[in-house]
Structure 1
Amino acid sequence: MIEFHLNGRPQRVQADAHLSVLELLREQLLLTGTKEGCASGDCGACTVAIGEVTADGELRYHSANACIMPAHQLQGRHLVTVEGLADGEQLHPCQAAMVECHGSQCGFCTPGIVMSLFTLHEEQRLRPSPLTPERLEAALGGNLCRCTGYRPIRDAALAMNEMPGHQPRWLDNSSELAEQLAVNVGEDLKNEDDTTFHQPHTLDQLVTLRSRYPDARLVAGGTDLWLEQTQHLADFARVIDVTRVDELCHIQPGDDGEGRQGWWVGAAVTYANLEPLLEREYPTFAHLLHRLGSAQVRNRGTLGGNVANASPIGDTPPVLLALDARLRLTGPSGSREIAAADFFHAYKQTELAADECLEAIFIPARQFEGKAERQLKVWKLSKRREDDISAVLGAFSWRLDDGCLRDVRLAFGGMAGIPARAAGAEAALEGHAPNAEAFAAARKALAGDFSPMSDVRGSAEYRSHSAAALLERLRLLIASQSATTSHPASATTSEEVMLHAYAH
């Protein structure tokens, strides 16, 4: 049973463990304004807004793909669909702007675009700030318009804040609605025999459930797991949702037990909530998140899910390997910490025991006492700029001390059955000046580090050639940085050698 609010009204519905929000809306609640396009979280036609109560009691909305969001995650939330914005002929400002700017053509994608604009409008209403091209791209990058109507849609986004329009009654009563949603609902440990979808609220409860149901599927954002349901029609017998586990939802400063300072990122922290930390500490990593998926995906997907999923082409694991990240695993016997490099065993096989779960990921700080600052560079090769799976991803970390490379970490995704470091290439660079000779040796060693496979995203030859090219790009980058440091006047002619539209 799920209890939530829909367009300001309380709802109580029965749902199977594998049901998505989109199926709940269209098939059980008969609200068909939300459309199904790709059923994989790519097109944005099914975009809805999810309202959650923050720690300070404020009701905040984010966009989400209804097709890959488990319906049970609506528990205690406010679901807003396109039907909930207007009152007859009175349109919400984002809808009025779409009409005024002729932003809708065939109309199939329009409901999802309107909902993305609604969440942007709410963000602007509560926290006004300039609508830069980057913000517009981030907000609308997950909505495809096959009629190529992007210019008028962009015009609508820029015009909606000045557009008169109707504000839904439930939006005027946000405080009252937040109080209703804040009621603690969802703990089902007392009636676990009556449900197949569990939402523990503490780590102890999660461990208990994991031990009791080792075959249950764990879900956080659902951005990968729910594709099994939409694309392969999987019927999940039992699901454990980790998004309500308080210990998994925070970022805590601390150390890794080996003297390194940094941050422990809870496994259920979303990319969107992780982004401010990365923008400050590792901007390259933050930029990768925008290549990883749309705003709808970043609002729901989690770093912990990307790691535990153990895909060889997952975007974040190579970066964590390059940063010497550590992982905290928790089970009935307590917690244990391991290096990220020791987590991945073979294709989709990890260090996690059947009764364990991933609790947190340690990301070290750039600066360690007595050492030069860590540098990080990440390059992703994919057919599309945004929202695409990588063919090859290279993540490189190093320190430059007295003109020599130290603590070199070269990690790749897409080159093996697991994300892995190139040990031979690292050894060829460690302790050497970043010159052409050293990198030539590294590229030669790289050929022996991996035996990539061929698949639909690229042949083995393409992957080997691309990985070697990324090492050469790294050499050019370091040379460019050194030239800029030595001759500041030449900075404008020593820019990074790359196309910023495809890498950063």
Structure 2
Amino acid sequence: MVRETIRFWRQGRALEVSGFHPRTTLLDYLRLQERRVGTKEGCAEGDCGACTVALGRVRGGRVHYEPINACILLLGQIDGAELVTVEDLAANGELHPVQAAMVNTHGSQCGFCTPGIVMSLFTLYHEGGQPLSRGAANDALAGNLCRCTGYRPIVDAALQACAQPADDAFSANGTKTAQGLMTFADGQDVFIGDETRFFAAPATEASLAALYAKHPDATLVAGCTDVGLLITKGMAEIEKIVWLGRVAGLDLIEDSSEALGIGATVTHAQVYPSLARIDPDLGELMRRFGSAQVRATGTVGGNIANGSPIGDLAPALIALGSELELRQGDHVRTMPLEHFFIAYRQQDRLPGEFVRRVTVPKLKGNEVFRAYKISKRFDEDISAAMGAFKFTLDGRRIVEARVAYGGMAATPKRATETENALTGLSLDEPASWGEAMAAIARDYQPLDDHRSSAVYRATVARNLVFKALSETASGETRATRIVGQREALEAAE
């Protein structure tokens, strides 16, 4: 069975839409079709948050709302979800609690960014019911830029409105909405268009494999956080789009005592807790991975398949020794993750083959992991360099090392020369660490671009080797990290 429409929940009822161009963004649909112009276009690349809306999907028996950048999300990707915009919040002539809090704290200045901020607060409001720190509010709002720099009253609004359990029209109608959303789970493939131009959303791996084998020139989309920019900024004429968000099984997380299996369409928000349990540095890396909007849609498989040299996740997973699983037709193959990246934006992926899953080994008792993201801004910024280290120890001696960096070369890449120099080092002899630090220069000829000079990257990469060794030797990170100081100041207040 093939469905020729997308179906979503809107203002308490089910809607069906068909016949749209595959490149239609959700923002264009809202502004040009629905004429709901409260949702704004700012950067058109998912950075400023002016276009933020909320999508609700059923998880654990209830509707879970997440903030989404409508400017780079394709219309077809809202299939099966509830769509909420800023116009939907006020009820019976009264402002929604987050809107009222923004008024009470004077959180709106020019107002252009305000609708997106309100929608981010709306999703935070529906996560309420527990004490909310200023740091947590800052994290939730990291993807919303206020050009009038009114952040303090905006965070005050979050603290005022979002610390209590949700009590609004959406929570009151939660059961009805969840029941409506569950009726959309029909197991049907979606195909809108014809053989030359289409938006497709297969429901099974077999359907995906068959469709991609037939159309190997199609563009696969998971979260669309990268392909969306090709459309909005690069004006790419993409005619065939296959969205993976409905493929059953690709969204699974399999957690065992030895490894974490992550399906290709698992989002960064969904995998965040599982990665944080492997090591706190992975949790911190994911906390700074894009914004809440990006983490809600961007996927692990998409981040890997994208093959960006500055992708933060791949170096960390490479250092951990992860394996990648790919499928072409009925054939499934696996490889070490580092072998997938061949050259700039080129991967070891055959025509019609797609990323299926990544398996991440968990740390053993004698293994230590460290990861560092270096960027100009703390929040929502692309790394100048990202370094990840795994040391296997025999007492106080390193017997094996895996080191990988992002942002240093055309691909995420292991530092084999550095690994060799690290092997055999004593953590009690800092004077012997110099060779391992110097070996980084043999592993990389750093990029030189607007984010950072090659000299800066080379210096940072060398220093991170020393930092990883120092922290491992002492077992202490407090003295070497900026992270956590903001929270410590809050606690002191």
- Taking structure 1 as the reference length, the TM-score comes to 0.90
Is residue 207–residue 332 contact of structure 1 (8 Å, CA) maintained in 2? yes
Displacement of 1:192: 7.1
**Residue range with higher mean Cα deviation, 180-189 or 271-280:** 180-189
1:402 to 395, 406, 414: 395
How far apart, CA to CA, are the structure 2 residues paired with 1:186 and 1:97? 41
What do the CA deviations read for 1:161-198 (whole angstroms, capped 9, x no partner)?
A: 58999933x55322222222212357336877477111
How far apart, CA to CA, are the structure 2 residues paired with 1:163 and 1:418? 45
Q: 1:164 to 1:201 in 2, by over 3 A?
A: closer
How far apart, CA to CA, are the structure 1 residues paired with 2:485 and 2:16? 46
1:74 pairs with 2:78:
yes
2:142 alignment partner in structure 1: 141
Is residue 401–residue 422 contact of structure 2 (8 Å, CA) maintained in 1? yes
Q: Secondary structure at the match of 2:46?
A: coil
1:258 alignment partner in structure 2: none
How far apart, CA to CA, are the structure 1 residues paired with 2:486 and 2:386? 11
2:416 alignment partner in structure 1: 423
Q: 1:59 to 1:432 in 2, by over 3 A?
A: same
1:440 pairs with 2:434:
yes
How far apart, CA to CA, are the structure 2 residues paired with 1:39 and 1:111? 15
1:237 pairs with 2:220:
no
Q: Secondary structure at the match of 1:405?
A: strand
1:18 pairs with 2:23:
yes
Q: 1:408 to 1:502 in 2, by over 3 A?
A: farther
1:458 to 452, 458, 461: 452
1:353 alignment partner in structure 2: 350
Q: Secondary structure at the match of 1:68?
A: coil
Paired residues for 1:274-423 under 5 Å: 274-367=271-364, 372-423=365-416
- Taking structure 2 as the reference length, the TM-score comes to 0.92
Is residue 447–residue 454 contact of structure 2 (8 Å, CA) maintained in 1? yes
1:225 to 224, 227, 230: 227
Paired residues for 1:151-162 under 5 Å: 151-161=152-162
How far apart, CA to CA, are the structure 2 residues paired with 1:497 and 1:59? 41
How far apart, CA to CA, are the structure 2 residues paired with 1:272 and 1:387? 14
Q: 1:502 to 1:67 in 2, by over 3 A?
A: farther
How far apart, CA to CA, are the structure 2 residues paired with 1:447 and 1:253? 37
How far apart, CA to CA, are the structure 2 residues paired with 1:189 and 1:70? 14
How far apart, CA to CA, are the structure 2 residues paired with 1:207 and 1:265? 19
Displacement of 1:104: 0.9
AA at the equivalent of 1:132 = S
Displacement of 1:10: 2.9
1:268 alignment partner in structure 2: 265
Q: Which runs of 5+ in 1 are unaligned?
A: 256-260, 485-493
How far apart, CA to CA, are the structure 2 residues paired with 1:53 and 1:21? 20
Q: 1:3 to 1:278 in 2, by over 3 A?
A: same
Is residue 200–residue 241 contact of structure 1 (8 Å, CA) maintained in 2? yes
Is residue 7–residue 16 contact of structure 2 (8 Å, CA) maintained in 1? yes
How far apart, CA to CA, are the structure 2 residues paired with 1:114 and 1:401? 53
Displacement of 1:225: 1.3
User: Which 4+ stretches in 1 moved above 4 angstroms?
Assistant: 161-166, 189-192, 501-504
1:121 pairs with 2:125:
yes
AA at the equivalent of 2:132 = L
Percentage of matched positions with identical amino acids = 42
AA at the equivalent of 1:382 = S
Q: Secondary structure at the match of 2:208?
A: helix
Alignment length (residue pairs): 479
What do the CA deviations read for 1:453-482 (whole angstroms, capped 9, x no partner)?
A: 32212222222122111112223222332x
Is residue 91–residue 165 contact of structure 1 (8 Å, CA) maintained in 2? no
Q: Secondary structure at the match of 1:89?
A: coil
Q: Secondary structure at the match of 1:123?
A: coil
AA at the equivalent of 1:253 = D
Is residue 91–residue 166 contact of structure 1 (8 Å, CA) maintained in 2? no
What do the CA deviations read for 1:429-474 (whole angstroms, capped 9, x no partner)?
A: 1122133343211122221111223221222222212211111222
2:107 alignment partner in structure 1: 103
Q: Which runs of 5+ in 2 are unaligned?
A: 488-493
Q: 1:186 to 1:109 in 2, by over 3 A?
A: farther
How far apart, CA to CA, are the structure 1 residues paired with 2:108 and 2:165? 19
How far apart, CA to CA, are the structure 1 residues paired with 2:389 and 2:244? 31
How far apart, CA to CA, are the structure 2 residues paired with 1:501 and 1:240? 41
2:491 alignment partner in structure 1: none
Is residue 428–residue 438 contact of structure 1 (8 Å, CA) maintained in 2? no
Q: 1:133 to 1:84 in 2, by over 3 A?
A: same
Displacement of 1:51: 0.7
Cα RMSD (Å): 2.3
